[in-house]
């Protein structure tokens, strides 16, 4: 529950905050070298072809396979990432897949096969769980003076579903079984990937900038050999940073691989006589299917204990971003808890770091299937930035501790030129941190534009508009990627709005952000990945639903 105190004004907040989760965004694209040759190895046969160099799966062959989708996406939407059902109520995906998402913005199509056939079972995500104690990405200087992002080192997240799925789930491989998998043995990965590289990027394939085209709506899989860690590290660059938390798979000559959009999907392997188990999660690679650059997968055996722990049967909000920014002087959240375990759990009293607990309906013993909630409020008394607050609720039996991280920033009034340049005097604009600048020379619609501030690598700059009634928020945007790709994202009510740096042609494009709820929050998030991309925005205006009838 949100307690907001806005009048009839729409509030625009601009803030700069450091990226708490620096996640590589390999959005909805994969690429595929056209390779018709197939592998026929024991236990892994291959019918017709198409992931990169992959093969069409048969209906029902991988019933645990799922597609992570924005909650309001249509059922044939390409979605965000792959995902696997690992328990009737839990799904496994890659951590970088859920960046900038909140649970209420996501759903999973479990058992998906043909994206055009509306098959599978669409279930909303209730909570996102991921390991908070571990490093999840960093930037390093690769020696050339350029900052390169290390992909997620712990690239996994467990999603709790709002109801159990009827589909069969996939078993996860443990370290003992994994020890039986030898380099050279074939593993299987899958997804709804593209088959061809986008020529525009073929010259400079990097994990961050490559995109594919011509996606197939049928689930494709590809068999790739498991690669020894030392061999994989010897590739150099980002590969040299990995350890046992990652598994590599692929051919030295490339040609077959998972790719963009396949992230979050599985890598399957067989330990001895056992049936296939999931051994990895599609994470990253330098380009796709390139020679001497393998696919990198988060290792399930390595993380197994943690992944099992995250399926602990207590439904609660682990990580809550609240869109990261808040303008109100008083702010509140309700945190819900439900016990799905067979036995009652004993709760300690909730603790909050910066805020106040205003209501707590949680009993000392939370019975099976019992629910309760804790309301927390924060006062913004001194304009101070709160990056993360923590509400902890110890569970005394058995040993579990539930931590909800509440992350947001406070913001204050922006310089008055913001509203002038953005083109809508009615918007009440707030700012935090480095200000966007006016660029007089570049304009659309006869007005100057705001251009992104120069911020450090890993920092982000966010413009946030809160409490908008139903309608549309329209703005013009242009991105200059000449020097590389930083990221620009739109987030509407916790869901990413698909805009893939599309304006590399250096033209302003008009983005109409649909506001479908009674009360809407929008964010424009710019992250500096060290690439000096430039972004301009202007002509930001809100259209009420009634104005839209034409
Ligand atoms: N990060 C990509 C995604 O989000 C997956 C990249 C996999 N790359 C590879 N060469 N196997 O879809």
pLDDT, tens only, 279-291 = 999 998 888 888 9
Pairing of strands 356-360, 371-379: antiparallel
CB 260 within 8 A of CB 28: yes
Domain 62-161 adopts which CATH fold? Thrombin, subunit H (2.40.10)
Ligand 1 mean position to 224 CA, how many Å? 14
26 vs 493 pLDDT, higher one: 493
Give whole-number Cα distances, 513 to 105, 322, 351, in Å: 15, 19, 38
Of the ranges 34-38, 117-121, 510-514, which one carries the lowest mean pLDDT score? 34-38
Ligand 1 mean position to 296 CA, how many Å? 8
Question: Above 50 in pLDDT, residue 206?
Answer: no
Give the DSSP H or E segment for 220: strand 220-227
Location of structure tokens 């050339």: 144
The angle formed by the CA atoms of residues 406, 409 and 414, to the nearest 5 degrees, is 160
Phi and psi at residue 418, to the nearest 5°: -55, -50
Q: How many percent of the chain have pLDDT more than 90?
A: 32
Domain parsing of the chain, residue ranges: 62-161, 175-309, 317-410, 421-547
Domain 317-410 adopts which CATH fold? Immunoglobulin-like (2.60.40)
Phi and psi at residue 304, to the nearest 5°: -55, -45
Residues with CB under 6 A from ligand 1: 24, 26, 81, 257-263, 282, 284-285, 288, 295
CATH number of 175-309: 2.40.10.10
Structure tokens at 348: 């300690």
Specify the pLDDT at position 532.
74
The reply to whether 175-309 shares the fold of 62-161 is: yes
Ligand 1 mean position to 216 CA, how many Å? 16
Q: Which of the given ranges, 223-232, 272-281, 287-296, 338-347, has the highest pLDDT on average?
A: 223-232
Question: Above 60 in pLDDT, residue 169?
Answer: yes
Note if the bond before 453 is cis, omega within 30 degrees. no
The angle formed by the CA atoms of residues 386, 389 and 391, to the nearest 5 degrees, is 160
* Spatial distance between the Cα atoms of 230 and 147, rounded to a whole number of angstroms: 24
Closest alpha carbon to 267 in 178, 136, 200: 178
pLDDT tier for residue 12 given thresholds of 50, 70 and 90:
very low
Phi and psi at residue 310, to the nearest 5°: -65, -15
pLDDT tier for residue 168 given thresholds of 50, 70 and 90:
very high
Ligand 1 mean position to 357 CA, how many Å? 42
* Choice from 98, 149, 283 to test ligand 1 binding pocket (greatest atom count within 8 A of CB): 283
Ligand 1 mean position to 473 CA, how many Å? 32
pLDDT, tens only, 68-117 = 998 877 766 778 899 999 999 999 999 888 876 778 889 999 999 998 88
Question: Above 90 in pLDDT, residue 61?
Answer: yes
* Spatial distance between the Cα atoms of 420 and 451, rounded to a whole number of angstroms: 14
H helical segments located in 113-228: 175-178, 199-202
CB 511 within 8 A of CB 464: no
* Spatial distance between the Cα atoms of 51 and 223, rounded to a whole number of angstroms: 10
Q: How many percent of the chain have pLDDT more than 70?
A: 70
Question: Above 70 in pLDDT, residue 257?
Answer: yes
Structure tokens at 409: 């920033």
CATH 2.60.120.200 fits 421-547, yes or no: yes
* Spatial distance between the Cα atoms of 277 and 43, rounded to a whole number of angstroms: 13
CB 140 within 8 A of CB 105: no
Ligand 1 mean position to 262 CA, how many Å? 6
Please state the atom number of ligand 1 nearest to the C-alpha of residue 260: 12
* Choice from 263, 265, 267 to test ligand 1 binding pocket (greatest atom count within 8 A of CB): 263
Please state the atom number of ligand 1 nearest to the C-alpha of residue 191: 12
**Residue 430: strand pairing partners:** 13, 413
Give whole-number Cα distances, 99 to 105, 152, 306, 455, in Å: 11, 11, 20, 20
Give whole-number Cα distances, 368 to 293, 315, 337, 339, 341, in Å: 49, 11, 11, 5, 6
CB 537 within 8 A of CB 473: no
């Amino acid at each position: 529950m949100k307690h907001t105190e806005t009048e009839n004004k729409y509030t625009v907040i601009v803030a700069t905050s450091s990226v708490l989760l620096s996640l590589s965004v390999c959005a909805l694209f994969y690429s595929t070298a056209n390779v018709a040759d197939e592998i026929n190895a024991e236990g892994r046969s291959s019918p017709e072809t198409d992931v990169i160099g992959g093969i069409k799966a048969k209906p029902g062959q991988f019933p645990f396979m799922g597609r992570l989708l924005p909650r309001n996406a249509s059922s044939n939407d390409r979605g965000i990432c792959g995902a696997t059902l690992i328990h009737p109520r839990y799904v496994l995906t890659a951590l970088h897949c859920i960046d900038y998402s909140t649970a209420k913005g996501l759903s999973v199509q479990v058992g998906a096969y043909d994206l055009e056939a509306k098959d599978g079972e669409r279930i909303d995500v209730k909570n996102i769980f991921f390991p908070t104690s571990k490093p999840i990405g960093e930037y390093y200087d690769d020696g050339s003076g350029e900052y390169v992002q290390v992909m997620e080192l712990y690239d996994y997240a467990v999603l709790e579903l709002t109801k159990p799925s009827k589909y069969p789930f996939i078993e996860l491989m443990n370290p003992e079984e994994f020890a039986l998998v030898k380099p050279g043995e074939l593993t299987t990965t899958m997804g709804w990937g593209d088959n061809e590289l986008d020529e525009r990027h073929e010259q400079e394939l990097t994990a961050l900038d490559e995109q594919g085209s011509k996606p197939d709506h049928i689930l494709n899989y590809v068999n790739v050999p498991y690669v020894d860690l030392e061999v994989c590290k010897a590739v150099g660059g980002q590969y040299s940073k990995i350890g046992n938390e990652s598994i590599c798979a692929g051919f030295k000559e490339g040609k077959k691989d998972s790719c963009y959009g396949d992230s979050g999907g599985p890598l399957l392997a067989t330990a001895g006589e056992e049936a296939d188990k999931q051994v990895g999660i599609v994470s990253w690679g330098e380009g796709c299917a390139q020679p001497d650059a393998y696919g990198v997968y988060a290792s399930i055996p390595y993380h197994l204990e943690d992944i099992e722990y995250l399926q602990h049967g207590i439904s609660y909000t682990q990580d809550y971003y609240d869109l990261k920014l808040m303008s109100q002087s008083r702010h509140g959240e309700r945190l819900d808890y439900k016990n799905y375990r067979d036995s009652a759990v004993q709760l300690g009293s909730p603790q909050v770091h910066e805020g106040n607990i205003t209501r707590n309906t949680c009993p000392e013993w939370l019975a099976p299937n019992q629910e309760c909630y804790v309301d927390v409020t924060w006062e913004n008394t001194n304009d101070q930035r709160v990056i993360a607050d923590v509400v902890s609720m110890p569970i005394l039996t058995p040993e579990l501790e539930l931590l909800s991280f509440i992350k947001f920033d406070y913001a204050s009034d922006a310089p008055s030129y913001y509203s002038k340049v953005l083109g809508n005097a009615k918007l009440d604009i707030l700012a935090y941190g480095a200000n966007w600048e006016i660029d007089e020379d570049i304009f659309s619609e006869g007005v100057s534009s705001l251009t992104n501030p120069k911020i450090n690598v890993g920092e982000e700059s966010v413009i946030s508009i809160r409490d908008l009634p139903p309608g549309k928020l329209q703005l013009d945007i242009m991105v200059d990627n000449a020097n590389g790709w930083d990221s620009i994202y739109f987030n509407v009510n916790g869901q990413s709005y698909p805009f893939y740096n599309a304006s590399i042609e250096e033209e302003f494009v008009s983005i109409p952000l649909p506001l479908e709820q009674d009360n809407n929050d929008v964010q424009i998030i710019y992250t500096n990945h060290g690439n000096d991309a430039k972004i301009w925005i202007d002509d930001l205006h809100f259209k009420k639903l009634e104005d839209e009838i034409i």
